[in-house]
Amino acid sequence: MELLDFLRESGFDAEGVGSGREALEKVRQETFDVAIIDRKLPDFEGVELLKQLKSIDPTIDAVIVTAYGTIDTAVAAIKAGAYDYLTKPIDIEELILRLNHIVEKRRMETELRILKEELAEKYSLDFVFESGAMKEIMEMVRRVAPTSATVLITGESGTGKEVLARIIHHLSGRSGRFVAVACPSIPETLLEAELFGYERGAFTGATTSKPGKFELAHRGTIFLDEIGEMPLFAQAKLLRVLQEHEIERLGGTRPKKVDVRVIAATNRDLEKLVAEGKFRADLFYRLNVVHIHIPPLRERREDILPLANYFLKKFTKNMHKQIEGFSRQAVEQLIAYDWPGNVRELENAIERAVVLARTNLILPEDLPISPASPPQSESLRLEDVEKRHIEMVLRRTGWNISRAAELLGIHRNTLREKIKKYGLRR
């Protein structure tokens, strides 16, 4: 039982049996991740045992151990569903390496399954819209997703930037993971280690090596949320990743190649930050290959009611309540409200309304909002109204001058003059 003891000492929860029949009985009673099977057993041939184990639990992985390492042996083992095979005498370190590969593979398969389930639930939400602005955005997403282009998503908090990034990843066909990084939530002193990983001994307390977010996203997508908050030293390292497609762990001596699609998001004006010296211009241009701006909910009011109905259906199902819809007054209130917190605020409002509702309709008093009215001091001069309207159309079209001029019904040169007159900036 020397091998069994070594596996346990290496951190594996291992059990041993003396025959194929015992192994079959064990797998019928318990769930195991991996089976290490000798090719020659007293009562079974190893490949045949693996086939029967697979018939009981198709998810089980296996390593076949044999005294005769031939190509035919390897082919037979792999065809039977083995992850790998080893020849005797067993190299313990090599076995541990193979087992760790299996553990990592299974972990990633589980995370991918969970992610797909989450996307299946969220995917319909992101296609609940009526506005032309969102239709244009989704059309752009369909065109961009299959490429490897870097994407910059801008928009106010709560507009759904991360969900849109997940859809791009989902449609990309990339085999790796979607790894989300909230840049402001990581202390500046830990940011480099979190993004690029570190080697054992790189700093006090680094007792083991650890891969960074970029390595975890290999062959997948990394989502850098609120990229405008990233400090300049980390921006320089990120630029190198985008240029060279490689990272270097903290304390490491050799770079590692990574195949990662970068999607960044921000609610800040990066061009303004570049002008202020707070964001690298070269990094901005690298990130801004494809720019998708999500308008706030108040600029696409056509989406409010479809989204509200979607959330109503979702929460009534989750809470087992019978609510048919919204009263006419509640609908008017939903549409009139400006939703400063955007889709996230709308979702929270509908969830609260479902909890509090006492009838089969959501009433105005169930909603934690009141219609927004302009402050008395707000200027109603024609020039101010025109400025706000032009600004809204420019944002809605992603500052496409030709498209904005067409929507406004004016010539492109006229629009450029007005942009200059009102001091509008992207």
Please check whether residue 271 lies inside any domain of the structure: yes
Specify the CATH number for the domain of residue 326: 1.10.8.60
**Minimal CA–CA distance to 159: which of 305, 269, 290, 297?**
297
Q: In this predicted structure, which of 174-178, 188-192, 328-332 has the lowest mean pLDDT? A: 188-192
237 with 154, same domain?
yes
pLDDT of amino acid 126 = 46
Phi, psi dihedral angles at 220 (to 5 degrees): -125, -140
Higher pLDDT, 205 or 171: 171
Specify the CATH number for the domain of residue 264: 3.40.50.300
Give the integer Cα–Cα distance in Å for 180 and 222.
6
192 with 219, same domain?
yes
The answer, yes or no, to whether residue 370 has pLDDT greater than 70, is no
pLDDT of amino acid 183 = 92
Angle, helices 20-29 vs 46-56, to 10°: value is 20
57 with 89, same domain?
yes
**Minimal CA–CA distance to 236: which of 181, 173, 281, 296?**
281
51 with 153, same domain?
no
The answer, yes or no, to whether residue 375 has pLDDT greater than 70, is no
Please give the distance of CA 343 from its chain centroid, rounded to a whole number. Answer: 18
305 with 336, same domain?
yes
Q: In this predicted structure, which of 30-44, 59-73, 271-285, 290-304 has the lowest mean pLDDT? A: 59-73
122 band by pLDDT with thresholds 50, 70 and 90: low
Q: Which domain holds residue 404?
A: 382-422
pLDDT, tens only, 243-291? 999 998 988 888 899 999 999 999 999 999 999 999 999 999 999 999 9
Mean pLDDT (whole number) for 373-389: 57
pLDDT, tens only, 280-289? 999 999 999 9
Please check whether residue 375 lies inside any domain of the structure: no
pLDDT of amino acid 135 = 85
pLDDT, tens only, 342-357? 999 999 999 999 999 9
pLDDT of amino acid 221 = 97
153 with 178, same domain?
yes
Mean pLDDT (whole number) for 107-129: 60
Number of domains in the chain: 4
Share of the chain above pLDDT 70, in %: 90
pLDDT of amino acid 125 = 44
Beta bridge partner(s), residue 190: none
Q: Do residues 194 and 304 touch, judged by C-beta distance below 8 A?
A: no
57 with 187, same domain?
no
DSSP 183-231: GGGS-HHHHHHHHH-B-TTSSTT--S-B--HHHHTTTEEEEEETGGGS-
By the 10 Å C-beta count (0-12 exposed, 13-18 middle, 19+ buried), 75 is classed as exposed
* Residue 305, helix vs strand vs coil: helix
Give the integer Cα–Cα distance in Å for 50 and 60.
9
CA atoms within 13 A of residue 342's CA, in its CB half-sphere: 14
Could you tell me the maximum CA-CA distance found in the chain, to the nearest angstrom?
Answer: 94
The answer, yes or no, to whether residue 114 has pLDDT greater than 80, is no
371 band by pLDDT with thresholds 50, 70 and 90: low
Q: What would the two tokens of residue 11 be?
A: 């951190």
212 with 269, same domain?
yes
Is the peptide bond preceding residue 89 cis, with omega within 30 degrees of 0? yes
pLDDT of amino acid 48 = 85
Q: In this predicted structure, which of 163-167, 223-227, 380-384 has the lowest mean pLDDT? A: 380-384
Please enumerate, as own/partner, the contacts of 155-158 that have beta carbons within 8 Å and a separation of 24 or more: 155/265, 155/267, 155/293, 155/294, 155/295, 155/296, 156/267, 156/296, 156/342, 157/267, 157/341, 157/342, 157/344, 158/341, 158/342, 158/343, 158/344, 158/345
pTM: 0.60
Q: What would the two tokens of residue 357 be?
A: 């509702």
pLDDT of amino acid 72 = 67
124 band by pLDDT with thresholds 50, 70 and 90: very low
Q: Do residues 371 and 337 touch, judged by C-beta distance below 8 A?
A: yes
